Structure 1
Amino acid sequence: MTLWDGSFPFYPGTNACFPFDTTWAIIASVFLSVLITSIIILPGIRGKGRLFWLLRVVTSLFIGAVVLTIQFTRDWESGWVTANISYKSFSRAMVNADIGLHIGLAGVNITLVGNPVNQVNETISYNEHFAWSFDADYDHSYSEGLEKGLPSPILYVAEKFTTQSPCNVHRQYRISSHYASITLWMALCTWLISILLFSMPVLLYGGYMLLLTAALMLFSLLFFVTVRNIPKCPIQFGPASLKTDYGRSFWLTLTTDREE
């Protein structure tokens, strides 16, 4: 095995990850461009309504950016645990690592980061996504992970969400995430209508549409909350247990909904 620097030849090296999510970058660029354009034309608005108009634009853009962004975030539910674990199958090597589980509307992200990162002659830094949206096959993604020879902790956590798992949580997560996503797309549509009504200006009906946007965001939260009512599947790494709680995207949606 010296040719492979002490690692097993049927395991590929760690995949390089792009340093940031390009979807977020695109969304931020679009909304910041609109905001900058609004600030540029602000001096052309006369009277005391200038400040009110700017506040309305900033608030509306923030709501729209949140509704669109949380469709693609992967931290509606998150959890971390640090444990001494077996790194890969057919190996007795033990490593100390942080294992993270991040659940979004489109699937789960499982991260594995070593403490330190360099152990057993490898760089232990993984971030794997397993999709369960209706145009994706979660079990197929899991099978591909097996073929790639992903580390055992990642495969162990991913297996909990397969359709064949005794945990039986795949269907509940997939359906509730699907309906939450549909509701958020509807919220984005009503937000766009409110922007059009505010620009006409038809303030009263624009306000009604904004309230409808808030209601749809609340329904998306309720759809996702239903998953928490099912029995939790234990994810154990020796004495350590990986437990999840609501993540940043969930709380951001709730906070934005309350502001509306």
Structure 2
Amino acid sequence: MGSKARQNTPEISIISEALFSLGRSEGFPSHYSENRTPVTIDVVEVGIIFSFACLSVCFAVILLPRYDRKPRIILVCRAVIGMIVSSILLTSNYGQNWEVGAITAIVPYKAGVPDEIKADIGIKIGLRSVNITLKSEGEDKGVGLKNEEINFNERFTWTWDQGRIGFGPFAGRLQQEFRAAQRRGLPIPILWLAEYFTIDGEGFRFGRFYRTAGWYAHIALWAAVPSWIMSNLLFLTVVRYGALWAVITGLLQLLACLIWVSVKNPIPLEVPYNTGDLVTFYGVDFWKTIFSGCLCIVLGVVVILCDLRFPDETTVFFSHDPLSEYEECHLDPEEVDLMRTKAAKQWEEVIRQRKREELIQMQPIDSTDLEMTSINLEEMGPTAMTPSYAISTPLPLPPTQLLLKRGTTVRRAQKGLIRTPAPVAPTNVPFYLSVQKDH
């Protein structure tokens, strides 16, 4: 076996050399020329969107095919809304579209090159950096630049130190990157636009103000991330607390937008060109942050109102046990008697009102008749129209001392704040009072 292996070794080496030299005439590994491609997408932003999209699809694929379709659909909708708000928080923080601007102008290309180009110049400002694009194709380029590929996308970051004035080793990161771009020989339109953010004096303090606004807006958005996580966790335990944290999340996002609008340079950024001025306006990251903030506030307020008005239905919607929202309270005999008296008075008033309506419907509509009806009702007294368990009548059963009480009830929350107390049906008597009606 060993001799056969030694005999096959030269054949294997010949085959490997033939495969290695396939398509190569040099006799050594091929060297390819540099392939300079423009940056067209933000890898971080696309990665965040892709990751949350994968999580949303996984939730839908895993949960929807099971039984109990309606609860599963509700759970998937809640998960998708949570993913959307989370992705907006992160993409807005790392995105480059808080302010954007674009213009087409005829500009010089590089130092030492006499030809001019007709190019599309764009600027995208984020919380931590600024992107400058320069693109020119076809006949828009000069005679000496026919074979030149002009498609640049350069980013200058300022996270987060302002640094000293100038371009030395102790200057800010933006100034140092601008000096490095000059050494690399970037096109003049990019350097000209980036220079607006490096000057720090008099009214030219765009870099300082944008950096400050981005820093505080970044803090507000990062504070909204754990707030939204806390909201989703509390929705699994106490619904009203989760709704409150959702409102806080929305307020933090709106605060970030307010900081960006108020802290940035009071003088708007206007860069003059021969065809007009390049002016910036609010981009998609700014508007989607406002949308997400308003969405969180509206959802939180709606859940709070539903928890106050329809507590049991809201608890079931969030997949909770309704009894978990109640607490057992043991009352003293005096407290039970007080509650019994109060409930009997309320019941008496309901019966009086109903009896009044019945008598009014039975008699002709006349002002004198209405007055007589009211007098007769007053003379009849409360005991004539109330059931046999009035205040003076002893209860047929001993009073129950166990009471189920909810943390937030519609009666407690609506007391002079939202609307009048919810009406009580005459046939429904609170079970914890042990009150029975004699037929």
Instruction: Give the structure-1-normalised TM-score.
Output: 0.87
User: How far 1:37 sits from its partner (Å)?
Assistant: 2.7
1:215 aligns with 2:254: no
Match of 2:136 among 114, 131, 150: 114
Query: Given residue 114 of structure 1, which amino acid in structure 2 is its aligned partner?
Result: S
The worse-fitting range, judged by mean Cα deviation, of 202-211 and 139-148 is 202-211
Match of 1:35 among 25, 49, 56: 56
Tell me what 1:244 maps to.
Answer: 280
User: How far 1:31 sits from its partner (Å)?
Assistant: 1.3
Query: Given residue 37 of structure 1, which amino acid in structure 2 is its aligned partner?
Result: C
Question: Which of the pair has the greater relative contact order for Cα pairs under 8 Å at 6+ separation?
Answer: 1
Query: Given residue 36 of structure 1, which amino acid in structure 2 is its aligned partner?
Result: V
Contact 2:102 2:122 in 1 (8 A): yes
The 3-state SS of whatever aligns with 2:97 is coil
Cα distance 1:148–1:238, how it changes in 2: closer, same or farther (>3 A)? same
Tell me what 2:84 maps to.
Answer: 62
1:189 aligns with 2:226: yes
| Separation in structure 2 between the aligned mates of residue 226 and residue 112 of structure 1, nearest angstrom | 30
The worse-fitting range, judged by mean Cα deviation, of 157-166 and 140-149 is 157-166
| Structure 2 stretches lacking a partner, 5+ long | 1-33, 162-171, 297-439
1:23 aligns with 2:44: yes
Tell me what 1:127 maps to.
Answer: 153
User: How far 1:15 sits from its partner (Å)?
Assistant: 4.8
Contact 1:106 1:177 in 2 (8 A): yes
User: How far 1:63 sits from its partner (Å)?
Assistant: 0.4
Q: How many residues align?
A: 247
The worse-fitting range, judged by mean Cα deviation, of 219-228 and 56-65 is 219-228
| Separation in structure 2 between the aligned mates of residue 80 and residue 91 of structure 1, nearest angstrom | 24
Contact 1:194 1:210 in 2 (8 A): yes
User: How far 1:41 sits from its partner (Å)?
Assistant: 2.2
Query: Given residue 58 of structure 2, which amino acid in structure 1 is its aligned partner?
Result: T
Percent identity over the alignment is 32
Query: Given residue 186 of structure 1, which amino acid in structure 2 is its aligned partner?
Result: A
User: How far 1:44 sits from its partner (Å)?
Assistant: 4.2
> Which one has a bigger Cα radius of gyration?
2
Query: Given residue 37 of structure 2, which amino acid in structure 1 is its aligned partner?
Result: A
User: How far 1:45 sits from its partner (Å)?
Assistant: 6.5
User: How far 1:89 sits from its partner (Å)?
Assistant: 1.6
Q: Deviations over 1:56-111 (max 9, x none)?
A: 11111100110011111111100000011111122221100000011001110000
| Separation in structure 2 between the aligned mates of residue 150 and residue 15 of structure 1, nearest angstrom | 14
The 3-state SS of whatever aligns with 1:232 is coil
User: How far 1:132 sits from its partner (Å)?
Assistant: 0.8
The 3-state SS of whatever aligns with 1:50 is helix
Match of 1:174 among 211, 214, 233: 211
Q: Deviations over 1:207-253 (max 9, x none)?
A: 11111110000000011111456112431122421111001111111
Query: Given residue 53 of structure 1, which amino acid in structure 2 is its aligned partner?
Result: L
User: How far 1:195 sits from its partner (Å)?
Assistant: 1.7
The 3-state SS of whatever aligns with 1:175 is helix
Tell me what 2:183 maps to.
Answer: 147
> How well do the aligned residues superpose, as a CA RMSD in angstroms?
2.2
Tell me what 2:174 maps to.
Answer: 138
User: How far 1:19 sits from its partner (Å)?
Assistant: 4.8
The 3-state SS of whatever aligns with 2:94 is coil
Cα distance 1:107–1:96, how it changes in 2: closer, same or farther (>3 A)? same
Query: Given residue 247 of structure 1, which amino acid in structure 2 is its aligned partner?
Result: G
1:103 aligns with 2:139: no
Q: Deviations over 1:131-169 (max 9, x none)?
A: 011166100010011001110000000000114465122
Contact 2:49 2:87 in 1 (8 A): yes
The worse-fitting range, judged by mean Cα deviation, of 60-69 and 128-137 is 128-137
The 3-state SS of whatever aligns with 1:70 is helix
| Separation in structure 2 between the aligned mates of residue 218 and residue 230 of structure 1, nearest angstrom | 20
Contact 2:39 2:153 in 1 (8 A): no
Cα distance 1:165–1:182, how it changes in 2: closer, same or farther (>3 A)? same
| Separation in structure 2 between the aligned mates of residue 80 and residue 20 of structure 1, nearest angstrom | 17
Contact 1:117 1:124 in 2 (8 A): no
Match of 2:96 among 74, 77, 87: 74
The 3-state SS of whatever aligns with 1:259 is helix
